[in-house]
Structure 1
Amino acid sequence: MEKYMILMNGIFLNRIKRYAMNKLYLKSILSSILRIGYQKSSSEKTKKQQKFLISLGLLMSIGGVFWGNILLYLELYFQALIPFSYMLITCINFFYLYKTKDFKRVRFIQMSISFTLPIAFHILMGGFSASGAVVLWSIYAIFASFTFQEQNETKKWLSLYLFILIFLVYFNTSIEESSLGVPANISLLFFTLNISIITLSIYTLFLNYIKSEEELRKELYHLINTDTLTNIPNRRAINQRIHNELTRFKREKVIFCLMLLDIDHFKKINDTYGHEVGDRVLFEFAKFLHTSVRSLDFVGRYGGEEFIIILPETSIENARVFGEQLIKKCTQNSISTSKGNCQFSVSIGLSFINEIDQKMSDIINRADEALYVAKKNGRNQLQSS
Structure 2
Amino acid sequence: MYAEYFPVVSDLVHRLGLVALVSMAYGSIIRAFHGPMTRSLMVGLLFGCSAVISMLDPVIIDDGIIVDARSILLALSAPFGGVVAVLVSTTLTIISRILIGGSGVYAGVVGILIIGSISLIFTLVYRPKVYSWKHFVILGLTVPLYTLSIFVLPFERAMPIFQRMALPMLTLSVTGIILISMFLHRERLRVDRVKTLEVDAHTDPLTNLANRRLFDRVARRTFRKAASTGGEVFSLVMIDIDSFKSINDHWGHSNGDLVLIEISTIIRSLVRKADLVARYGGEEIAILMPTADAGEAMAMAEAIRRRVNETFFDFGRTQAHVTVSAGVSTFTSQHQSLTDLIEEADVALYRAKRLGRNRIELASMAA
For the aligned pair, the TM-score class normalised by the smaller chain equals: 0.5 to 0.7
SS, match of residue 378 in structure 1: coil
Whether 1:236 and 2:213 are equivalent positions in the alignment is: yes
Cα pair distance change 1:362/1:60, threshold 3 Å: same
- Post-superposition CA distance 1:283-305 (Å, at most 9, x none): 11000000011121221111110
Per the TM alignment, residue 325 of structure 1 is displaced from its structure 2 partner at its CA by 2.8
Aligned equivalent of 1:322: 300
- Post-superposition CA distance 1:183-220 (Å, at most 9, x none): 99856543344345544444433222222222222222
SS, match of residue 379 in structure 1: coil
Aligned equivalent of 2:194: 217
Equivalenced residue count is: 231
Aligned equivalent of 1:352: 330
Cα pair distance change 1:371/1:193, threshold 3 Å: same
Aligned equivalent of 2:184: 207
Aligned equivalent of 1:276: 254
Per the TM alignment, residue 346 of structure 1 is displaced from its structure 2 partner at its CA by 0.8
SS, match of residue 308 in structure 1: strand
- Post-superposition CA distance 1:24-64 (Å, at most 9, x none): 99989857xx8xxxxxxxxxxxx95xx52433554577699
SS, match of residue 327 in structure 1: helix
Tell me if structure 1 keeps the 8 A contact 2:242–2:358.
yes
TM-score (norm 2): 0.55
Name the Cα RMSD after superposition: 3.3
Aligned equivalent of 1:377: 355
Q: Tell me, in whole angstroms, the C-alpha distance in 1 between the residues paired with 2:166 and 2:327.
A: 75
Q: 1:304 aligns with which of 282, 297, 309?
A: 282
Q: Tell me, in whole angstroms, the C-alpha distance in 1 between the residues paired with 2:355 and 2:162.
A: 92
Q: Tell me, in whole angstroms, the C-alpha distance in 2 between the residues paired with 1:288 and 1:320.
A: 16
Cα pair distance change 1:309/1:30, threshold 3 Å: closer
SS, match of residue 288 in structure 2: strand
User: Structure 1 residues 240-249 or 199-208, which shifts more?
Assistant: 199-208
Q: 1:266 aligns with which of 241, 244, 248?
A: 244
Q: Which runs of 5+ in 2 are unaligned?
A: 1-119, 146-159
Higher relative contact order (CA 8 A, sep 6+): 2
Tell me if structure 2 keeps the 8 A contact 1:273–1:339.
no
Cα pair distance change 1:315/1:60, threshold 3 Å: closer
- Post-superposition CA distance 1:94-120 (Å, at most 9, x none): xxxxxxxxxxxxxxxxxxxxxxxxxxx
Aligned equivalent of 2:134: 54
Q: Tell me, in whole angstroms, the C-alpha distance in 2 between the residues paired with 1:348 and 1:200.
A: 58
TM-score (norm 1): 0.53
Q: Which runs of 5+ in 1 are unaligned?
A: 1-23, 35-46, 66-182
- Post-superposition CA distance 1:256-277 (Å, at most 9, x none): 0001100000011111111111
Tell me if structure 2 keeps the 8 A contact 1:258–1:367.
yes
Per the TM alignment, residue 239 of structure 1 is displaced from its structure 2 partner at its CA by 1.2
Q: Tell me, in whole angstroms, the C-alpha distance in 2 between the residues paired with 1:320 and 1:201.
A: 59
Per the TM alignment, residue 324 of structure 1 is displaced from its structure 2 partner at its CA by 2.4
Q: Which amino acid aligns with 1:233?
A: A
SS, match of residue 227 in structure 1: coil
Aligned equivalent of 2:273: 295
Cα pair distance change 1:62/1:292, threshold 3 Å: closer
Whether 1:334 and 2:315 are equivalent positions in the alignment is: no
Cα pair distance change 1:354/1:318, threshold 3 Å: same
Aligned equivalent of 2:26: none
> Radius of gyration: which is bigger?
1
